[in-house]
Amino acid sequence: MNKELIPALRSFRKYPVFSLINLGGLSIGIAASFILLIYSQREFSTDRHFKDANRIARIGTDFFHMGPFAISQPQLPLLAKAGCKDVENVTSISIEDKTSVRLSTQERAFNDILPYSIDAEFFTVFSYQASAGSIPQMGLAPGETILSENSAHKFFGNTDPIGKTLLIGKKMTPYKVVAVLKEGFEKSHLEPQLLLPRSTAAPANPNNWMSAALYNYVKLKPQGSIAGLNAWLETLRRKVIYPSSGATISYQEWTASNMAVSFTVQPLTSIYFDNNAKFDTSPGGNLTQVRLLSTISILLILLAIINYINLVTARASIRAKEMGLKKTYGAPRSTLVGQLLKESILFSLLAMLIACGLIQVILFLYQYSTGAALTGPIPFLSANYIWLLFFSLAVGALAGLYPAFYLTGLRPLLTIRSTTTSGMGSNSHIRNGLVTVQFVIATGLVFLSFVVYSQLLYMKNKDKGFQSEGIVLVDNIEGMKDRATTFQQLIEQQSQVASTSICERIPGSKGVAMYSYRTAAMPKPLSIQTFPVDDRYISTIGMHLSDGRDFNRHLASDTNALILNESAVAALGLFNPVGSVINGSEKVIGVVKDFNYASLHEKIGPAILRYSTRPRTLAIRLRGGNTASFLDWLGRASKDFQTEAPTISFLDDNFARLAEKERLLGQAISFFTILAIILATLGLIGLTIFTIERRMKEIGIRKVLGATRSDILNLISSQFIRLAAIASGIALPVSWWLANRWLNNFAYRISINVGTFFLTEALILLIAFAVIGLLTLRALAANPVKNLRTE
């Protein structure tokens, strides 16, 4: 054992509480910030693991200015490959409905498996690798399939799936497994579970540019560019699509009109975060969350480093004597600096070992408390752990640097002679500064968590313009056709059901329907969100009629009637909406209060209800009672009406899904805020213990002079409380600004009130007082006057 390190180890034994606090803090800091580092690195490199990722792009479309779609036209790939000189290759994936998978006709099916149907070029664009079998580079032959590792495990357990047969779909078509895709730690916006071959027959209607179905990816030539692709697409629009639309207006007018079709090209590497396209393959990442968590990772390690520096320099009086003595024996400063650096690196390596275990604990706790995994399990023995080593070494060096130079810079005579701390006070400014930084971090994070949580709560409880709770949806009932009414009647006979409605669209669902509306006074029609519904829709989902009346199925004229929301009334410029005529013959019969149909990021726009009895969704308002048994019954009953089982969900869940990213963000920030508070509290405990130790004599003197317990408490805490106050002065405005920036993403948001500031301060001060108070009282319990006797 290195002689220089022995004093360090002895000092560990001599001051166990101190050293454990220090070690614990450093381990938590290293573990948590390492996790977040890996997390952000993984998020940011999503899809970058594909070979030539920066040459791959997805062509999406925008129809009629409805916003971007992830899918585009089926005839596009052939045209692009033949016509665009920048394109090397194109592949298109078809992702439609979930299907069922069986191992044999007798066995039960695995449901809800989403197959990707791929063409021959798939593997030339996406460099997937096989963990078993081999990838057919020329695409799947008919009757062949490829599984993801996950699905393979699900279907076959640990047996080798290669060569086995799967029966897929209702028709139980047999497919032979030829390969299993390797699933690494990398993330992708494509999440294949099951790959099937797709026939690449020419599209049925190559002149129809108004509908999209395929996910089209192009691989550019090495010298090709996205700009080149965009230029080609623009030519395609002007030369092919515009003429085929049969429009009588000029090209310029056409592009601005609501008949326009346009393309959106997304580089592969930006699809994951730039994910507002409809029908995207994955919900995508949340850039705010990744940025926030990478910032937090830096803050956490900063907290841990500050703890280390503070606790080491706080003990300076003890170590300084050793340094002073060595100096008088002639040790050069560089040797001493080296010794202290070695100590801190040794310390951080020790912390790293503990951190290795803590990483698993933190990941587990995170998943346990939020229900979502932050990253997949970090693969063992991977390059990540080399990073951990370097990271810890760097932390050790960084944390040791200041104490090393500080301790070795003291004048030796002073340090040897002095038994008190006089002359050692000079570093207290830096220590106070560092403690302030810790308070700033803790206060800021607490404040942000409170804001995020208040916004989440607000989103959950906001009046949506209808009552979403207690509504069960039976989706995809198109197959029932005329029997839908019988189905509806059967359901209404159930005691738990209050009312039902058949409709084609429900707020918070994925589908989009926009129709054109034009009053006599308007020069151009407007595209407006439309909800085709029956006459019990408004009463069932609980919208509020503010004017006019509801649809009535017994009035033949109502098939041509409209009910507008208030925004639509304003958008169409109607003063007396009820009775006015739109599109020449459609009559407005009522007005409903505005209601949310999309996430709260978007402002409620104009929306129109029109009468329709075409079944797509059945909305059921429950009266209460035994919901579970009702749902059970509903699942069984609906199968009798339609072979393909309909999807049953709660309307509330649909809205919750729209706010899923915010929910995850809220949980992530509060989880790591708690960790940050733990770190800062550990630091405060250490420093308070030290402060009390250092001022024990003074406390004794003051006791003799008549100070009461509260006087002493005041004495010790006032120093920290002052720092906390300064910190709040910095942290609160900054985090207020950040929080407002985040809130500006929402059309419906809370305004930050004084209560949030107050609550943040209260929590921080409560923790500080609790720590300082308990430690001071503990110190006072051992009669401090006794310290005065030692002469």
Partner 1 sequence: MIDLKRISKWVNVGGKPNFILKDINLNIKEGEFVSIMGPSGSGKSSLLNIIGMLDDSSEGEYFFLEQAVHSLKEKQRSQLYKQYIGFVFQAYHLIDELTVYENIETPLIYQNIKSSERQAMVADILDRFQIVGKKDLFPTQLSGGQQQLVGIARALIGKPKLLLADEPTGNLNSRQGEEIMELFKQLNNEGVTIIQVTHSEKNAAYGSRIINLLDGRVDLS
Q: DSSP letter at 103?
A: S
Separation CA 363–CA 361 (nearest Å): 6
Shortest Å distance, C-beta 700 to partner 1? 8
Shortest Å distance, C-beta 701 to partner 1? 5
Shortest Å distance, C-beta 6 to partner 1? 32
Report the residue number, 104 or 422, with the smaller CB distance to partner 1.
422
Options 219-227, 533-541, 607-615, 703-711: segment touching partner 1 (CB under 8 A): 703-711
Report the residue number, 614 or 786, with the smaller CB distance to partner 1.
786
Shortest Å distance, C-beta 311 to partner 1? 22
788 binds partner 1 (CB under 8 A): yes
Shortest Å distance, C-beta 697 to partner 1? 7
Shortest Å distance, C-beta 789 to partner 1? 6
Q: Which amino acid is at 61?
A: T
Shortest Å distance, C-beta 704 to partner 1? 5
Please give the structure tokens belonging to residue 672: 């790591």
Shortest Å distance, C-beta 405 to partner 1? 26
- What x/- string results for residues 423 through 442 when contact with partner 1 is judged by CB under 8 A? --x-----------------
711 binds partner 1 (CB under 8 A): yes
Separation CA 170–CA 238 (nearest Å): 43
783 binds partner 1 (CB under 8 A): yes
701 binds partner 1 (CB under 8 A): yes
Report the residue number, 377 or 706, with the smaller CB distance to partner 1.
706
Residue from 697, 757, 759, 773 binding partner 1 (CB under 8 A): 697
Report the residue number, 98 or 786, with the smaller CB distance to partner 1.
786
789 binds partner 1 (CB under 8 A): yes
Q: How far is CA 79 from the centre of its chain?
A: 37
704 binds partner 1 (CB under 8 A): yes
Does residue 568 contact residue 519 with C-beta atoms inside 8 Å?
no
Residue 623's CB is within 10 A of a number of other CB atoms, namely 13
Separation CA 14–CA 8 (nearest Å): 10
Helix (H, G, I), strand (E, B), or coil: what is residue 147? strand
Please give the structure tokens belonging to residue 206: 């190559």
Shortest Å distance, C-beta 706 to partner 1? 4
713 binds partner 1 (CB under 8 A): no
Separation CA 713–CA 330 (nearest Å): 44
Q: DSSP letter at 238?
A: I
Shortest Å distance, C-beta 309 to partner 1? 23
Q: What is the largest CA-CA distance in the chain?
A: 108
Does residue 56 contact residue 50 with C-beta atoms inside 8 Å?
yes
- DSSP-assigned letters across all residues of 693-738: HHTHHHHHHHHHTT--HHHHHHHHHHHHHHHHHHHHHHHHHHHHHH
CA–CA distances in Å: residue 550 to residues 154, 488, 529, 573, 623: 50, 20, 19, 21, 22
Separation CA 150–CA 154 (nearest Å): 6
Residue from 2, 248, 420, 585 binding partner 1 (CB under 8 A): 420
Q: DSSP letter at 203?
A: P
Separation CA 533–CA 594 (nearest Å): 16
Separation CA 488–CA 537 (nearest Å): 13
Q: DSSP letter at 106?
A: T
How many residues sit in the footprint of partner 1 (CB under 8 A)? 22
Options 415-423, 609-617, 647-655, 767-775: segment touching partner 1 (CB under 8 A): 415-423
Residue from 626, 708, 714, 753 binding partner 1 (CB under 8 A): 708
Going by C-beta distance under 8 Å and a sequence separation of 6 or more, which residues neighbour residue 728? 439, 443, 760, 761, 764
Shortest Å distance, C-beta 430 to partner 1? 18
Options 43-51, 662-670, 707-715, 742-750: segment touching partner 1 (CB under 8 A): 707-715
Options 55-63, 295-303, 417-425, 629-637: segment touching partner 1 (CB under 8 A): 417-425
* CB-side neighbour CA atoms (13 Å) of 389: 6
706 binds partner 1 (CB under 8 A): yes
Q: Which amino acid is at 136?
A: P
* CB-side neighbour CA atoms (13 Å) of 44: 12
Options 118-126, 143-151, 482-490, 781-789: segment touching partner 1 (CB under 8 A): 781-789
Separation CA 460–CA 785 (nearest Å): 58
252 binds partner 1 (CB under 8 A): no
Report phi then psi at 611, rounded to 5: -75, 130
Does residue 139 contact residue 118 with C-beta atoms inside 8 Å?
yes
Options 58-66, 184-192, 296-304, 420-428: segment touching partner 1 (CB under 8 A): 420-428
Report the residue number, 274 or 698, with the smaller CB distance to partner 1.
698
Q: DSSP letter at 470?
A: T
Shortest Å distance, C-beta 674 to partner 1? 36
Report the residue number, 282 or 421, with the smaller CB distance to partner 1.
421
Options 208-216, 247-255, 419-427, 515-523: segment touching partner 1 (CB under 8 A): 419-427
Separation CA 658–CA 747 (nearest Å): 14
Report the residue number, 96 or 711, with the smaller CB distance to partner 1.
711
Separation CA 424–CA 417 (nearest Å): 12
Q: DSSP letter at 500?
A: E
Residue from 256, 325, 413, 785 binding partner 1 (CB under 8 A): 785
Shortest Å distance, C-beta 686 to partner 1? 21
702 binds partner 1 (CB under 8 A): yes
Dihedral sign computed on CA atoms, order 749, 752, 755, 757: positive
Report the residue number, 386 or 414, with the smaller CB distance to partner 1.
414
Plot region of 506 (φ>0 → left; ψ -120 to 50 → alpha; else → beta) = beta
Name the strand (E) or helix (H) holding 474.
strand 471-475
Shortest Å distance, C-beta 780 to partner 1? 11
Residue from 1, 381, 383, 705 binding partner 1 (CB under 8 A): 705
698 binds partner 1 (CB under 8 A): yes
- What x/- string results for residues 365 through 404 when contact with partner 1 is judged by CB under 8 A? ----------------------------------------
Shortest Å distance, C-beta 315 to partner 1? 19
Report the residue number, 420 or 576, with the smaller CB distance to partner 1.
420
Sequence-separated contacts (24+) of 491-495 with Cβ below 8 Å: 491/618, 491/620, 491/634, 491/637, 494/630, 494/633, 495/623, 495/625
Shortest Å distance, C-beta 787 to partner 1? 10
Report the residue number, 299 or 723, with the smaller CB distance to partner 1.
723
Does residue 685 contact residue 775 with C-beta atoms inside 8 Å?
yes
693 binds partner 1 (CB under 8 A): no
Report the residue number, 463 or 711, with the smaller CB distance to partner 1.
711
Helix (H, G, I), strand (E, B), or coil: what is residue 453? helix
Does residue 732 contact residue 757 with C-beta atoms inside 8 Å?
yes
Report the residue number, 270 or 421, with the smaller CB distance to partner 1.
421
Shortest Å distance, C-beta 786 to partner 1? 8
Residue from 422, 461, 495, 643 binding partner 1 (CB under 8 A): 422
Report the residue number, 322 or 698, with the smaller CB distance to partner 1.
698
Report the residue number, 252 or 783, with the smaller CB distance to partner 1.
783
Residues engaged in binding partner 1 (CB under 8 A): 420-422, 425, 697-698, 700-708, 711, 783, 785-786, 788-789, 791
